[in-house]
Amino acid sequence: MRNFLLLCLLIVSTLTFYDHPRMLPYSEPVLDWLAEHISLPGAQSDSMVTRKIQKAFYAIGQDYGTGQQEALAKAAQNITNLLQFRRDYCQNGDFHPALFGDAMTRACDVLRQYPKLEEFRQQ
C-alpha cells in the first residue's frame, strides 16, 4: 500500500510541476515523445500544434530583443492568431513593425512546416 501511495504522489507531483523551469529539460523530451507515439497516427490537436509552434517561436525569439519575443509570443497564442499572422505577413508580405528580415523569414519557415493549419481552427 505504501508503494502505491508513493507512486501516486510521484505521478501527481510530476503532473503538477512538469512546466517548472528546472523540470523543463527533462519533461519536454518525454512530453514530445508521448505526443508523437501515444496519440492517433496523423491526428494532432490544435493545442499540440500550437505548443510546437510556440516552442519554435520561443527559440527564434531568443536571438532577438524583447519586442520581437513579445510579437512572436502574441502570434503563437492560438490558432486564429497563427493563421492571421501567416496570412498577413508570410503570404501577403505585409510589414510587421517588430519582425522583419531574418526574424520574419524564420517565423514563416516554421509556419510553412504546418501547411494544414486551417484544419485546427475552432468553429
| pLDDT tens readout for residues 84-113 | 989 998 888 888 888 888 888 999 899 888
Is residue 75 within 8 Å of 57, Cβ to Cβ?
A: yes
Confidence category of residue 26, pLDDT binned at 50, 70, 90: confident
- The pTM of the full predicted model, rounded to 2 decimals, is 0.60
Confidence category of residue 36, pLDDT binned at 50, 70, 90: low
CA atoms within 13 A on the CB side of 122: 9
Using the structure block, give the residue that is written with the C-alpha cell 490544435. 46
Q: Residue 116's closest CA among 47, 59, 44, 31? A: 44
Contacts of 14 (CB under 8 A, 6+ apart): 27
